[in-house]
Chain A
């Protein structure tokens, strides 16, 4: 088990290197540069001499392979470089943003799990009922609705019209500020989990061992506790993992919309001004999160299903 986890963690290294290389390449072919986004006081672009000077200052005048090599050397020392704009270490910038990001992603996921899974369960217990139809219609809408639109809708209703909750900002971590962005971000995973759970429960209920449980004389609630819950978890744990893993990256739209000081908004702002070290750093963290969650899912999977062994 320990060996397995260690090996999986080591296997992340090539993936992270590949991601780093990819980001490097993309920014070298994209038009625009950090110096190009700066304007000198007025509306004029900077003079070519000044641009060259700025580029030299950040090492952007060196050839791409050299820059990549320098980057890698720093990366293995856990140094993500220095932001072009703020001149602060990228590590510090990320450290300041990671907690709000995790807070948002985990609250969204908690909402999705605590509402989506029970809803899917109830819907599956009474297929064709009103609850089932309403849940499934809601789930399809939840999956097809653009996140930002749901966010705007929530803002409009609960912040502007009703005035119950603030419409933007971190609010020094107050729960009031977290509620709307968490709902906006969590709604799609909630919908997906409700659907997956419903399908999973129906699949398990149709299996032979449920007929055995009925022949044994188990009541419906005993059957669900002893023979359905765990079996359904096997089917939905993958979906849950993929959602948690990708939520950090997905959050950028919602973070921008609600002015949430997370990794996503940091990344978007940095892309706009070509602050390459910051973009690279945030993407690496988001990818790392995804990979770690994946390992975690596999471990949980093996813990639930005895037929799966980690090797």
Chain B
């Protein structure tokens, strides 16, 4: 395979509006992901990272709707697929892990059966054949005592372990692409490093590409080969990770990097607030109204 694994062209997501043009949350987003690549998508909250990821999975949260664009995967457009064929891909070829390991698992089902579900759904295994495979999957994400843990319920595990369970589930069918939406944001720093290392190792071994979504520049720098910077629903800059961090081109990226605290500097000195909010706001966006800004600032 020489072409991109996933080619996203002109993805536009918005909220349909009866009395006018829809409010666009994500506008004209285009990027591609190569097989086995770790691609980072970075930006502040509300910039449209998660909305884009969910749209790729066909899991738009109401009232968000995909308005335009294509996402080509193996010659098929994910955004135009029937629900049935999208379901076949989801979890099997393209899987996803979420930010909240505490709530992303069913609290009333054993860990083992939640992972086994993947083999029942996509490999046509019976439950009794799928259970041992689930234990193997737990072992692969380095959960201690996988056999015992398979019988545990989510509330009996720590956040870090739960996120490992999510990873085991997502990687169960050896997908081509793993979408990781803020996978470590809810975890503390040491666990965060372990989980990131696990994702990287597993995906390298399986040849799985990763779309890593984060607001944490440190995480992105550590993991990714290429990075897209999103602000206000638009891709502002798309570069090799190294180049982006040493030589940011777009003023928004420059501002973002300048806002990072640096080791050895005083709290205020050499560090800038991301004051340039105007840049993050696209007043020309269709459906834009000044009223959307009001909660952030003073009265209009």
B interface footprint on A274-306 (CB within 8 Å = 1, 0 otherwise)? 000000000000000000000000000000111
Interface of A, secondary structure class, is helix
A216 adjacent to B121 (CB under 8 Å): yes
Which residues of chain A are within 8 angstroms of B100 by Cβ–Cβ distance? 208
A209 adjacent to B106 (CB under 8 Å): yes
A150 within 8 A of B: no
A217 adjacent to B108 (CB under 8 Å): no
**Segment of A32-40, A226-234, A238-246 in the binding face:** A226-234
A217 adjacent to B88 (CB under 8 Å): yes
With A234-B108, A304-B108, A305-B108 as known contacts, state yes or no: A215 contacts B90, CB within 8 Å.
yes
CA distance A12 to B236 in the complex (A): 69
B107 within 8 A of A: yes
With A216-B90, A217-B88, A217-B92 as known contacts, state yes or no: A211 contacts B108, CB within 8 Å.
no
Which residues of chain B are within 8 angstroms of A207 by Cβ–Cβ distance? 103
CA distance A230 to B106 in the complex (A): 10
A230 adjacent to B108 (CB under 8 Å): yes
Which residues of chain A are within 8 angstroms of B57 by Cβ–Cβ distance? 215
B176 within 8 A of A: no
Q: Closest residue of chain B to A213, judged by CB? A: B106
Say how far A236's CB is from chain B's closest CB, in angstroms: 14
A217 adjacent to B153 (CB under 8 Å): no
With A222-B121, A226-B117, A307-B155 as known contacts, state yes or no: A215 contacts B95, CB within 8 Å.
yes
Q: Interface size for chain B: under 10, 10 to 19, 20 to 34, or 35 or more residues?
A: 20 to 34
A217 adjacent to B89 (CB under 8 Å): yes
Which residues of chain B are within 8 angstroms of A227 by Cβ–Cβ distance? 106, 109
A219 within 8 A of B: yes
B118 within 8 A of A: yes
CA distance A212 to B105 in the complex (A): 7
Total A-B contacts with CB atoms under 8 angstroms apart:
71
A interface footprint on B111-122 (CB within 8 Å = 1, 0 otherwise)? 000000110011
A218 within 8 A of B: yes
With A209-B103, A231-B108, A305-B108 as known contacts, state yes or no: A216 contacts B153, CB within 8 Å.
no
A214 within 8 A of B: yes
B160 within 8 A of A: no
Which residues of chain B are within 8 angstroms of A209 by Cβ–Cβ distance? 103-107
CA distance A24 to B107 in the complex (A): 48
A217 adjacent to B122 (CB under 8 Å): yes
Residue from A215, A219, A305, A306 within 8 A of B96 (CB atoms): A215
Q: Closest residue of chain A to B156, judged by CB? A: A306
CA distance A208 to B166 in the complex (A): 13
B104 adjacent to A211 (CB under 8 Å): yes
Which residues of chain B are within 8 angstroms of A222 by Cβ–Cβ distance? 121
Residue from B87, B88, B118, B155 within 8 A of A306 (CB atoms): B155
B14 within 8 A of A: no
CA distance A226 to B121 in the complex (A): 12
B residues touching A (Cβ–Cβ < 8 Å)? 57, 59, 87-92, 95-96, 98, 100, 103-109, 117-118, 121-122, 153, 155, 166, 169
Contacts A212-B105, A215-B90, A226-B109 known; list 12 others, CB within 8 Å: A209-B106, A209-B107, A211-B104, A215-B59, A215-B95, A216-B91, A217-B90, A217-B121, A218-B87, A227-B109, A230-B109, A306-B153
25 contacts between A and B (CB under 8 A): A208-B98, A208-B100, A208-B103, A208-B104, A209-B104, A209-B105, A211-B59, A211-B98, A211-B104, A212-B98, A212-B166, A214-B90, A215-B90, A215-B91, A216-B91, A216-B95, A216-B117, A217-B122, A218-B87, A218-B117, A218-B121, A230-B109, A234-B108, A306-B108, A307-B153
